[in-house]
Amino acid sequence: MLTSMNERFDIGIVGAGQLARMMVQAAISLGLRVRVLAESPADSAALVWPDIVIGSPNDPEVVASFAEACNVVTFDHELVPPKVLAVLTVQRATLRPNPKALALAQDKLWQREQFARRGLPVPRFHGVRSIEDVAAFAIETGWPVAVKTAVGGYDGRGVWRVASAPEAAELFASLPARGTNLIAEAWVPIDREVAAMVARSPAGEVATYPVVDTLQIDGICREIVAPAGISAHLSDKATALAIDVAKAIDLTGVMALELFVAGDELFINEIATRPHNSGHYTIEGCTTSQFEQHLRAVMDLPLGSTDLTAEHVVTVNVLGGPTGEDPRQTLAQALALPGVNVHLYGKSARPGRKLGHVTVLGENLEEARERAWLAAGLLTGERVESPR
Amino acid sequence: MLTSMNERFDIGIVGAGQLARMMVQAAISLGLRVRVLAESPADSAALVWPDIVIGSPNDPEVVASFAEACNVVTFDHELVPPKVLAVLTVQRATLRPNPKALALAQDKLWQREQFARRGLPVPRFHGVRSIEDVAAFAIETGWPVAVKTAVGGYDGRGVWRVASAPEAAELFASLPARGTNLIAEAWVPIDREVAAMVARSPAGEVATYPVVDTLQIDGICREIVAPAGISAHLSDKATALAIDVAKAIDLTGVMALELFVAGDELFINEIATRPHNSGHYTIEGCTTSQFEQHLRAVMDLPLGSTDLTAEHVVTVNVLGGPTGEDPRQTLAQALALPGVNVHLYGKSARPGRKLGHVTVLGENLEEARERAWLAAGLLTGERVESPR
């Protein structure tokens, strides 16, 4: 049952980035009453939503007071400090996803341990705190190894390829003296990366989206292609794995499971317990977008159809170009391309920053990809060719 | 060229009903800076948008001051008082649509005269001010005649079927003593009603949407089916007519042309120089929604593709039921139906009030219609069968 007018908010969203922005855009259609906690009035979602509270999402008192007015609290990121989760738990706020799922998503070492214990496929790993730890791990797996920060890495930051003991020494020399938890992982011979998205409601309803190909360049997701160009067998395996993980963490909301494909094997790379870049294509590309689906799921409303609306759907991210040009200045050029759906996030332009994305649907994959890359390039002031 | 951050607004929307609400929802994707003039903070668009000015859209000073901060001014309704248009014209605000198009859309007598002069097909008509005028008109055309208010009618209000001189007398007795401009029209033997939507930009670019069937019950639009079940010949004729009208009024933005179909003939019923109920289906049903298209057109951005995204698209309006129940209370039931796209407007429920709409896409028209009517019925607390 939804709240009556002028009572509490249906949903409070902690964080006001582009994910919150696209969540509130979806909330308009369903008539949901949403409040957003933003760090700054210039945050992506704060620019387009009236019910904004300004405050730090890392301050337990701020978040606790914010949560009091909301029936359900959700997040546009996983990096919720444990002290915030603790306070919210004590005040019995309804957190969706639940605090443990959030904590698992942000602490990769604990996550790997939990998943390994349940027999979920993760690369061979070990917590490491020294050069010696890494070298010892490499004796078991061989060089190179992947070294990652356990908490806080994203978009390729906090991940290193270490090919020898001297390289490990170099890495450790560059890190803060103490306090960084690291994981060493066996280097997976990756054929491709895919993502499987699943939604799950408190009632236990589960909906899975088509598995997609994700193309990372310099560790940053640049392109999503739905459906992924993999066998039905692998795709089914990825989907089943997403459901297993969702159940294992008692997911509520949507989750993206990022996977490495190596031959016929899948390895869990990351999980994101929220709408995710790999699901932006669903806005036009699926009957129910990941943003509406997340709202439905956290509100315990029935989940929507995840059918594709076209044979192929391509999303390309719009990253800030080297000149820092505002993509609004070339919007007309991108919109002149037929069938290009533009999404800008209202963020100030900085080189490499995710400023928006474009989505193209079509029967011909290569045509759709070319058009999407062309549009994204126009929006960043670059002429970027499709990289494949 | 769009404005830089923190400068003027790209677009000011006068009026904050559901059309403005869905316009701002579309503006989020394009990153446009929009300000909305609302009469009340409870207005449909004011509930979901941060940049709101509260004031009367009929007060010339209020609108003039509002317009000063906006590069382009557009409207979510046609009933803009002439004095407001006059003030905006004097201050050289960029009005899209232009003041004459707005005035023509609201004054049906003047509109009929202008259209008839250009050879556009309108039912035979005459301005009438008395019972005698109506009777004289009926001598030429026969009874019944349609009598309409020249300004201000909508959703079946201000339209009467008059079958005899005594009925005309009855009608005039019920009207205010003076000041109502009326039109008498020959009664058209309507087979069906259709609507043709066209978008036109200041650069002269034109885009037309598929012609749709509109089903009116008690003068209120209840259902839209795209594409209309008419011959290609009639459909092409309707589309050509929409382009002719758009050019005749120098349209900028989108326009819905509502047409009577009588045999092989088309007659112009109404025009709406803005997004229109008959185009709500375009949100999911076309590559570019009428709301994004309107924003593109008034900003002089390239127009988007109007291709259908499915074989059949059905929209059914959600009208307030007799019990005045808030459709949010039965949202879960509607969302449980697969493939139902729900749009609620945040308006308080009153019997007969347009509170939202639902859209269903499909290959099978009858299935889509049944599901859409079922969902709309659930949202209004009624079980409404598809009426055809």
Residue with tokens 């709406």: B272
Strands B354-362, B312-319: pairing is antiparallel
- DSSP string spanning A152-220? S-BTTBTEEEE-SHHHHHHHHHHS-SS---EEEEEPP--SEEEEEEEEE-TT--EEEPPPEEEEEETTE
- DSSP-derived secondary structure letter, B47: G
The most confident of A6-20, B146-160, B276-290, by mean pLDDT: B276-290
- Per-residue pLDDT of A14-66, as tens digits, reads 999 999 999 999 999 999 999 999 999 999 999 999 999 999 999 999 999 99
pLDDT on residue A6: 52
Dihedral sign of CA atoms A157, A163, A168, A170 in order: negative
pLDDT on residue B382: 72
pLDDT on residue B5: 46
Residue B213 to residue B223: CA distance in whole angstroms: 8
Q: What is the mean pLDDT of chain A?
A: 94
Q: What is the mean pLDDT of chain B?
A: 94
- Per-residue pLDDT of B76-93, as tens digits, reads 998 899 999 999 999 999
Task: Indicate whether B7 pLDDT > 90.
Answer: no
- Greater confidence (A383 vs A91) lies with A91
**In this structure, what token pair is assigned to residue A84?**
């915030």
- b vs e for B43-81, b when ≥16 Cβ sit within 10 Å of the residue's Cβ? bbbbbbbbbbbebebebbebbeebbeebbbbbbbbbebe
pLDDT on residue A177: 64
B208-231 average pLDDT score: 96
Mutate to test the interface with B, among A2, A23, A29, A378 (most CBs of B within 10 A): A29
Mutate to test the interface with A, among B30, B325, B344 (most CBs of A within 10 A): B30
Task: Indicate whether B1 pLDDT > 50.
Answer: no
Contact A151, A181 (CB under 8 A): yes
**Lowest-pLDDT choice from A177-186, A221-230, B75-84, B116-125:** A177-186
Task: Indicate whether B218 pLDDT > 90.
Answer: no
Residue A315 to chain B, least CA–CA distance (Å): 14
- DSSP string spanning B110-154? HHHHHHHHTT-----EEEE-SHHHHHHHHHHH-S-EEEEESSS-B
A126-135 average pLDDT score: 94
pTM score, two decimals? 0.95
Q: Which of A183, A208, A57 is nearest to A123 (CA)?
A: A183
Q: Which of A25, A287, A339 sits opposite B339 (nearest CB)?
A: A287
- DSSP string spanning A154-167? BTTBTEEEE-SHHH
Q: Which of B97, B89, B106, B104 is nearest to B13 (CA)?
A: B97
- Greater confidence (B218 vs B70) lies with B70
Q: Do A335 and B309 touch (CB under 8 A)?
A: no
What are the distances in angstroms from CA B357 to CA A373, B59, B336, B342, B367? 35, 31, 16, 6, 17
A230-244 average pLDDT score: 98
Task: Indicate whether A197 pLDDT > 90.
Answer: yes
Residue with tokens 């598809």: B386
- What burial class does residue A316 get, using C-beta atoms within 10 Å of its C-beta: 0-12 exposed, 13-18 middle, 19+ buried? buried
Enumerate the residues of chain A whose CB falls inside 8 A of the CB of residue B22. Answer: 28
pLDDT on residue A176: 77
pLDDT on residue B2: 54
**Lowest-pLDDT choice from A354-363, B167-176, B218-227:** B167-176
Q: Model confidence at A154, in pLDDT bands (50, 70, 90)?
A: low
- Per-residue pLDDT of B237-249, as tens digits, reads 999 999 999 999 9
Dihedral sign of CA atoms B37, B43, B46, B48 in order: negative
B192-210 average pLDDT score: 97
Q: Which of A186, A334, A358 is nearest to A260 (CA)?
A: A186
Q: Model confidence at B381, in pLDDT bands (50, 70, 90)?
A: confident
Q: How many CB atoms lie within 10 A of CB A191?
A: 13
Q: Model confidence at A5, in pLDDT bands (50, 70, 90)?
A: very low
Length in residues, chain A: 388
